[in-house]
Amino acid sequence: MREWKPGRWDLLYDPGFRMNELAESTSVLVPAYNEAHAVGDLVRALQSVARWHEVLVIDDGSTDGTATLAAGAGARVLSHPYNKGNGAAVKTGLRNATGAYVLIVDADGQHRPGDALRLVDQLDRYELVVGARSADSQASWSRRIGNAALNRIASYLTGRDIPDLTSGFRAARRDCMLEFIHLFPNGFSTPTTSTMSFIRAGYSVRFEPVVAAQRLGSSKIRLGSDGARFVLILLKVITIFSPLRLFIPVAGGCFALGFGYAAWTIATQSHVTNSSVLLILSSIVILLIGLVSEQIASLRPEGRRP
């Protein structure tokens, strides 16, 4: 076996297949948008490490021949008539996959196909296995800071340490993914939503350490706009599954501020201001809304199977 080089998959693996029962029941999903520079090599490398149930490339309206190169490499290609977004491509793959398990791999050449087997091998014990990138993998310093902040927020909201919230490299049981498909956005936040949803729903989730190479081509994620969108999705998912994790800190902050201000005005002015009363009452209202939301969340119906 030759040494792995970032973003280069051609002839990197010895010919022949690794026999793996879980892999033979796994549909590999490769969402791709203008990834002609990498998708063909990636498909061939994936096929060389295991006998997968199928390899599906979801061409999200590419204009650079991505679909043709993927089909030429042996993948089954599903094409969108126009660009809908990474999440929409993943949802198309989930609806059309026929394996009991799914493996989602970015088409940009970041991930070693050999690592895919480490993820899939653990699906007999976990419902979701995420390829958690090391801190120095792939990202620039600004994106590392952004990812670290998102990981901390998500860890607090879920009560579980999350080392890599946004990794698109993941394996899961297909029926469990379909349970949350109605929550997945069409953009770049499907990894965020699926990770949060699996954890808050009580499924077993593992973060498997992997090393990601520098991607080929330019990233389609913008730190500013997409970072704000990721935070909004974190809040959306947590209010669906565990709203008190959000409402209690807000209510507690309002109460502490109102009580502290009231104590200060009593000590210095011998009276309580309207602002203090308003903050304390607001904290009570917020807490009550959180309690009602928690009860509604406990009655949440499961998503319909597509």
pLDDT at 4: 40
What is the CATH code of the structural domain delimited by 21-241?
A: 3.90.550.10
Q: Is the pLDDT of residue 87 over 60?
A: yes
Distance CA 244, CA 27 (A): 37
Where residue 227 falls among pLDDT bands split at 50, 70, 90? low
CA angle 289, 290, 296 (to 5 degrees): 90
pLDDT at 41: 92
Least confident of 4-13, 40-49, 114-123, 170-179: 4-13
The burial class, CB within 10 Å (0-12 / 13-18 / 19+), for 60 is buried
Closest CA to 58 of 177, 186, 233: 186
Q: Is the pLDDT of residue 230 over 70?
A: no
Distance CA 42, CA 174 (A): 22
- Domain boundaries of the chain, sorted by first residue: 21-241, 244-298
The two structure tokens encoding residue 96: 């059309």
Distance CA 244, CA 132 (A): 28
pLDDT digits (tens, 9 = 90+) for 268-284: 988 889 999 999 999 99
Distance CA 257, CA 277 (A): 10
The two structure tokens encoding residue 230: 């990721």
Q: Across-strand partners of 32?
A: 59
Residue found by looking up tokens 């939503």 in the block:
193
The residue type of 227 is: G
Between the alpha carbon of residue 44 and those of residues 16, 47, 142, 261, 277, the distances in Å are 12, 5, 33, 66, 67
CA atoms within 13 A on the CB side of 200: 28
pLDDT digits (tens, 9 = 90+) for 128-145: 999 998 766 655 566 677
Q: Is the pLDDT of residue 221 over 60?
A: no
